[in-house]
Structure 1
Amino acid sequence: MIPPLGRHGRAEGGGGQVRNRPGRKRESASGAPGSGDRRRGAGTVLRTGPARRVVIVRRTAGGAPEHGPAEPAGLSPMLRAAAAYGWRLIIVGAVVYAVFVALGKFHLVTLAVFLGLVLTALLEPLTSLLNRWMPRSVAVASGLLLGIVLLFGVLSLIGANVAGEWAGLRREFDGGVARIERWLQGPPVHLSRDTLAHLQTWVRRFVSTHRSALISTALSGVDRIVEAATVGVLALFCSVFFLHSGSRMWRWFGGQLPGARRRPVRLAGRAAWTTFTGYTRGIVLVAAINAVLVGVALFILGVPLAVPLAVLEFFAAFIPLVGSPVALAVAAVVALAAKGPVIALIVVLLIVVIGQIEGHVLHPLVMSRAVQLHPVVVALSVVCGAVTAGVAGAIVAVPLVSVVWSVYGVLRALPAASFRTP
């Protein structure tokens, strides 16, 4: 006989059976009273008192009792699994929140590193090509120099275009405002002259009243320009080292990890970089095609500032699903003021056509390999990024979610032994 269990569910001695104390009812693990406890590997359940605490006594292969923790009776397995996953999700959410808070404190540095990675993804093919005929350092300097020359060439083209069309554009806008007023006075709006005059007076009064606020906003814009220049210089600095010795930097980081962790980290890093470069190059190609289509269409329609509006479309396309319609809406306003409602309506139809081409032709052909996300996930990512960090968050959100998803897919395919501590 086995001595009875103690107060904490431990056997007071050795043996192979469990003896009931007064006031306790013995049941088997299956729930039938007094059955199944003589078989090897079977369990004996002792039910005590009104609190209905259950002590499970399991038998090991050698016959020795193994006592599990006391659990409340009637607790469903689904509730236990939900609780187990719940506290793990709380910890993961707290860690993610802490990471985003830290990144928000250093948002300029984070944005500079992100732009440095973008420049690295764009210039790495050119640098590798030049590296066949020249040393790596010279190839990096040549690639960055070509990129800077291209950027300043586009900016100078925009400035020359605006300066050449400014006088005619001002006359067209004055005539366009008069045409808009006449259109608002006619059907279907039927606004009176007094209403339009009152609206103009209200705008002038608002500008004169809030002149100091507008001036301070303009001066704060100077601070923004300084911050943007700082971010650009830091991004250029980071891209130089990423292009020159990025692989060595990653190998050094992997060498600091324990041996069992190096392979998962190496595979995750490779998947993240492949996804990021594919997304960056793909979105640049999509934005360039959109800008060419918009520029050609606006030039054919005779809308002024076709080149600056095409460049605006190029940069706006980096915000998926949202940026392109906003840029084309600006083009529609310019067309309304300069050419009238008919041309503006054609530009609005152009928004629909280019949106369909981008969503059903360009993205499936160019972005399908790099970004395997549902459009709903893309839209929610853009909105959450915009709410969290404004325009920069909307730009960073989709590549960040894509990278995280690709890393998760790679780590999920690895065996569980790859994550065990040796």
Structure 2
Amino acid sequence: MARQRVRIMERMGRAERTAGGEHRPGGTGGFSPLLWVAAAYAWRLIVVGAAVYVIFVALGRFHLVTLALFLALVVTALLEPLTDLLDRWMPRSAAVTAGLLLGIVLVLGVLSLVGATVAGEWQGLSRELEGGVTRIERWLERGPVHLRHGTLSQLQSWLSRFIATHRSSLFNTAVSGLGRLVDVLTVGALALFCSVFFLHSGGRMWRWFGGQLPEHRRGPARIGGRAAWTTFTGYTRGIVVVAATNALLVGVALFILGIPLVVPLAVLEFFAAFIPLVGSPVALAVAAVVALAAKGPLAAVVVVLLIVVIGQFEGHVLHPLVMSRAVRLHPVVVALSVICGAVTAGVLGAVVAVPLVSVVWSVYGVLRTTDLTVPTP
């Protein structure tokens, strides 16, 4: 830092002497050297901030394409080990096809299991929820809250009147949701299409991209790209292991407690775990509401305690054991990343924020500690 400041002041002094101006002490034109250094860094930060803003605007403009590419990278990171294993006994094209088919069958099987479970338990769950609402109302009236009698009934009638009054707007929202469904199908098709090429010839595509760069930029690009992919694959596979473990623990606990909809709630916990620090408690809060309606306050309290236990287990055991090599970020950085991502792009931003920050930090770390003047193999 000090040497860089000295170089900046020397360049300023030479510029003043070249221009024939009066040379003041320090070569800073009468201003404080600290002010010159701050100004030199300020305009650079402004340029970097403007570039980041333009990138985010472009990504937001083409958010469907960005989402499809992100999903394709996730699929590639998850299926690459299986594809490489199958590649030993069959051609690469057949290995990619088999890996993708197995992944699609697994996802459709889980969704079918969830649908069958909800359909099979729906009637019994409706009766339990009706009785649970009555129990909750009695508990709120007689418990420490002392809710006025008939408040929940009035709330239910108000909700019915609201739905009847705003039926047209709700219908328009549902119709717009069909447009969202088309977007989801488009993103899924594009992600699957890109996944095929990433799994089949992703290495050749990256080498081609590196070949388009100037000679002195190819080494840093190769090193940074390797670090970025290692971090991304480590994070993706690690978060899947963490999410599956959380879902298994939640499913077993809810089954022991006799809570209905065990499989859908466990699947909800699996997908919610992809949002660090926030997703898992939200999913378990939904399970607590179902437990409160179906089994009463005691079961809901047990589920709330389960939130604390699983949170501690995830933070102190799973993440350090599974993801310590891929993600070396302080929990405060993770929390701020999730919040900033959610504010910027909603749920998708919360999911993408941590892997994005992890990749950027790993690339910065490897480029900072690598001597780029030595040719890389």
- When normalised by structure 2's length, the TM-score is 0.91
Q: Does 1:55 align with 2:26?
A: no
More helix by share: 2
The percentage of counterpart residues that share the same residue type is 75
Aligned to 1:28: none
> Which range moved further: 175-184 or 286-295?
175-184
- Secondary structure of 1:370's match? coil
Q: Does 1:178 align with 2:134?
A: yes
User: Counterpart amino acid of 1:280?
Assistant: T
Aligned to 2:289: 333
In the aligned structure 2, how far is the partner of 1:416 from the partner of 1:187? 69
Q: What's the offset of the Cα at 1:190?
A: 1.3
- Which portions of structure 1, spanning 4 or more consecutive aligned residues, are displaced by more than 6 angstroms? none
Q: What's the offset of the Cα at 1:416?
A: 6.5
Q: What's the offset of the Cα at 1:187?
A: 2.0
Q: Does 1:260 align with 2:216?
A: yes
Aligned to 1:248: 204
- When normalised by structure 1's length, the TM-score is 0.82
Aligned residues: 357
Aligned to 2:4: none
Equivalent in 66, 78, 88 of residue 132 of structure 1: 88
Q: Does 1:273 align with 2:241?
A: no
Aligned to 2:192: 236
Q: What's the offset of the Cα at 1:165?
A: 0.7
- Secondary structure of 2:23's match? strand
The question of whether the paired residues in 2 share the 8 Å contact of 1:112 and 1:232 is answered with yes
In the aligned structure 2, how far is the partner of 1:270 from the partner of 1:122? 17
User: Counterpart amino acid of 1:205?
Assistant: R
Equivalent in 134, 148, 163 of residue 192 of structure 1: 148
Q: Does 1:72 align with 2:72?
A: no
The question of whether the paired residues in 2 share the 8 Å contact of 1:54 and 1:71 is answered with no
1:399-414 superposed matches below 5 A: 399-414=355-370
The question of whether the paired residues in 1 share the 8 Å contact of 2:28 and 2:36 is answered with no
Q: Does 1:369 align with 2:320?
A: no
Instruction: Specify every segment of 5 or more residues in structure 1 that has no aligned partner in the other structure, as ranges.
Output: 1-42, 47-52, 58-67
Q: What's the offset of the Cα at 1:418?
A: 7.5
Aligned to 2:279: 323
Q: What's the offset of the Cα at 1:76?
A: 2.0
Q: What's the offset of the Cα at 1:211?
A: 1.7
Larger Rg belongs to: 1
Aligned to 2:78: 122
1:138-176 CA distance string (max 9 Å, x none): 000000000001111111111111111111111111111
CA RMSD of aligned residues (A): 1.9
Aligned to 1:396: 352
In the aligned structure 1, how far is the partner of 2:40 from the partner of 2:193? 46
Aligned to 1:88: 44
Instruction: Specify every segment of 5 or more residues in structure 2 that has no aligned partner in the other structure, as ranges.
Output: 1-12
Q: What's the offset of the Cα at 1:54?
A: 4.1
User: Counterpart amino acid of 1:215?
Assistant: F
Equivalent in 123, 139, 162 of residue 118 of structure 2: 162
In the aligned structure 1, how far is the partner of 2:334 from the partner of 2:150? 47
The question of whether the paired residues in 2 share the 8 Å contact of 1:261 and 1:418 is answered with no
